[in-house]
Structure 1
Amino acid sequence: MTSTLITRGALFTGSDRLEVRDVALREPGRGEVRIRIRASGVCGSDRHVLEGDWQMPTPTIMGHEGAGIIDAVGDGVTSLEVGDHVIMTWFYPCGTCTSCRQGRTWVCTGSRSEECLLPDGTTPAAVDGQAAYPYLAVGSMSEHIVVAEQAAVRVPQDVPFDVAALIGCSIATGVGAVVNDARVQPGRSAVVIGAGGVGLSIIMGLALAGASPIIAADLNEEALELARTFGATHTVRSGHDLPDLVRQITPEGADFAFEAIGRPETIAMMPETLQRGGSAVIVGLPPQGRPVPIDALALAEEGKTLIGSNYGSTVPARDFPMLAQLYLDGKLPIDRLITNRFALDDVNAAFDLMRAGAKGRSVLVM
């Protein structure tokens, strides 16, 4: 008989208030591992679910940006051992589809993570006898969770868990958008619209790439002050006049524009901030069913490029250890992003703080 672990997790049941409840978690099966979660980021993608922008199966164990320690492994697991410190990826690759064979795991067509299911189509968790679904097959807002082996990536043990958690989503997404998608070269100019967690990660990536000038745009002065500490050379208050403000700094327009909010209005504005031949990168994810109006004629005539960035084109097995090492080497000040830490029982307070416009990142520590 398969044994069951009773753990605790933050459940979404349709309300914008999460319930911290007991969760029954089965032992890891073949190709699966169990993780004792030590930290989970409180991300805007989680908020999209709570506010009904994105539909997920319920009850959902929330959290997709997590780090912890392997405490059990199933049969057939070869890359991980009990005691390993790991970061979880919210888009585990299947390893066999055409995209995976080409090394493009961020567009894997065989992953079931977006269904909140393990590769075999099951969920490892239940609440009151009813199946519970770890968000994006991670469910990091819990004390323990079972995930696919390929959803956990080993990193050095001297990386703090709260830092490691952020590498799993916002850091990989932001830095990857710069390095993997836009391929920004030293001396190129860039504007970043939105100085939240992902926007600050983009700014860190731009600073790492040697971009200049780096223009941060936001409505909040506190956010802009924070952006300066992460490498923004200029800051502007975002509004309808953003293209004009950018040209006051770089007269022909920026080489690159990154949108890190997910608002259709600001996504549509990006091409206007660019010089001819520039590239606009969509990093922020808008609500489902919200199309964005783009002047396609102007885009074509001016030779501009529109890039959709999914997870920063991250290959977790390659990129997570690299980002962790950049942190350890002092080149990515990820720890300074963390402005608030909460216990699991205080998860709703963390989301309330996000809704109130708090800057930086909140992390649950367990």
Structure 2
Amino acid sequence: MVRAAVLPAVGAPLEIAEIELPDPGPGQVRVRLAAAGVCHSDLSLTNGTMRLPVPAVLGHEGAGTVVAVGEGVTEVSLGSEVVLNWAPSCGSCHPCLLGEVWLCAEALSGAAAVHARRADDGSDLHPGLNVAAFAEETVVPVSCLLPAPEGVPLTEAALLGCAVLTGYGAVHHSARVRAGETVAVYGVGGVGLAALQSARIAGASRIVAVDVSPAKEELARAAGATDYVVASETTAREIRALTGKQGVDVAVECVGRASAIRTAWESTRRGGRTTVVGIGGKDQQVTFNALEIFHWGRTLTGCVYGDSVPARDVPILAEHVRAGRLDLDMLVTERIGLEGIPAAFENMLAGKGGRALVTF
């Protein structure tokens, strides 16, 4: 038995409970977690913004060590250090065949996900986003694993599984930021901090960080921001003032609110690009009129998992880490145990800090 953070029902508080894991079956692997990041997507699952079966063990950003393997597993062995991949691609659906593996139709179906049981009442536990990382150990399909990169501590490598892949991918794959361009990043949480660093790596000439909290300015500047704007009704105007009244070339929205998406779009120049990373509720309606769409010639795109190919991009990110261009440790503003996850959710709602990291 191992300890885990269990969501008993949508809207209910998390419970720390002992769970029983099955032995790994064919194609499955048991992993002892070293660390798991607390992501806004986990919060979205608790409050119903994103739907999943419950009760469930949440957590999808993690890294650890293989402690058991099932029949037919050759990709990893006992003692292998791995990063969890919560959205493994099937390789055969329409998006996968187009090379858009981040849009895999089967990735979130849960068909191959491994279920655990609560030790106290035997109830079935769904693995949230396939990997159930808010637990001391988890059993997953081998397709949900990536080799942990050499030279990167496991506790930091956990962040590669979501926050960094998403922030880096939003800048490099979705927005395609080019050297010399100007960039605004909305939301200075874990993903936003990764996006700021990625914009710096891309060679952006000016990087504006936007957040509701004045307290995050130092953190944002450490990540690469050249300017900091506290979010308000005049944000777009302030950003245009910083860029010769033109607006930035690219805005990356990491909040998931209609007002932030609209402001990000307005803060770009004519012909600018806005990439939406934040996950908002279906009640968050963003409106545009037909004339302004024509006149401004801007583009607005969604972004899933940073439009990333994890097997390709994690080694690239690791090289940036080893070269000192990407600082994973600075994304982490709090290290906690499983019991600290509810407080981390509250801090997230209040706009406090960067990434909270559960360490085992």
SS in 2 for 1:23: strand
- In the alignment, structure 1 segments of 5+ residues that lack a partner are 1-5
Q: What does 1:36-55 align with in structure 2 at a 5 Å threshold?
A: 36-55=32-51
2 CA distance for matches of 1:70 and 1:264?
Answer: 41
Report deviation, 1:165. 1.2
**Paired position in structure 2 for 1:214:** 207
1 CA distance for matches of 2:260 and 2:285?
Answer: 12
- Per-residue deviation, residues 123-151 of structure 1 (Å, max 9, x unmatched): 33112322101110011000111112111
2 CA distance for matches of 1:273 and 1:188?
Answer: 14
Report deviation, 1:54. 2.4
* Paired amino acid for 1:8: R
Of the three residues 145, 148, 160, the one matched with 2:153 is 160
* Paired amino acid for 1:292: V
Q: What does 1:208-287 align with in structure 2 at a 5 Å threshold?
A: 208-250=201-243, 251-287=245-281
SS in 1 for 2:250: strand
Report deviation, 1:75. 2.0
2 CA distance for matches of 1:131 and 1:95?
Answer: 29
SS in 2 for 1:186: coil
Of the three residues 82, 99, 105, the one matched with 2:101 is 105
* Paired amino acid for 1:298: E
SS in 2 for 1:354: helix
Deviates more, 1:286-295 or 1:307-316: 286-295
Would you say the 8 A contact 1:181–1:313 is kept in 2? Answer: yes
* Paired amino acid for 1:232: A
Number of matched residues? 356
Q: What does 1:346-361 align with in structure 2 at a 5 Å threshold?
A: 346-361=340-355
Distance 1:352 1:218, change over 3 A: closer
Deviates more, 1:286-295 or 1:85-94: 286-295
SS in 2 for 1:26: coil
Report deviation, 1:308. 0.6
Would you say the 8 A contact 1:37–1:69 is kept in 2? Answer: yes
- In the alignment, structure 2 segments of 5+ residues that lack a partner are none
Would you say the 8 A contact 1:218–1:237 is kept in 2? Answer: yes
Would you say the 8 A contact 1:154–1:321 is kept in 2? Answer: no
SS in 2 for 1:79: coil
Q: Percent of pairs identical after alignment?
A: 38
Report deviation, 1:32. 1.6
SS in 2 for 1:140: coil
Distance 1:289 1:75, change over 3 A: farther
**Paired position in structure 1 for 2:64:** 68
**Paired position in structure 1 for 2:136:** 143
* Paired amino acid for 2:330: R
TM-score by length of 2: 0.94
Report deviation, 1:262. 0.6
1 CA distance for matches of 2:350 and 2:181?
Answer: 34
Report deviation, 1:201. 1.0
Would you say the 8 A contact 2:89–2:102 is kept in 1? Answer: yes
TM-score by length of 1: 0.93
Of the three residues 4, 7, 10, the one matched with 1:9 is 4
2 CA distance for matches of 1:328 and 1:17?
Answer: 39
**Paired position in structure 2 for 1:170:** 163
Deviates more, 1:248-257 or 1:8-17: 8-17
Report deviation, 1:18. 1.0
Q: CA RMSD in A?
A: 1.6
2 CA distance for matches of 1:296 and 1:61?
Answer: 44
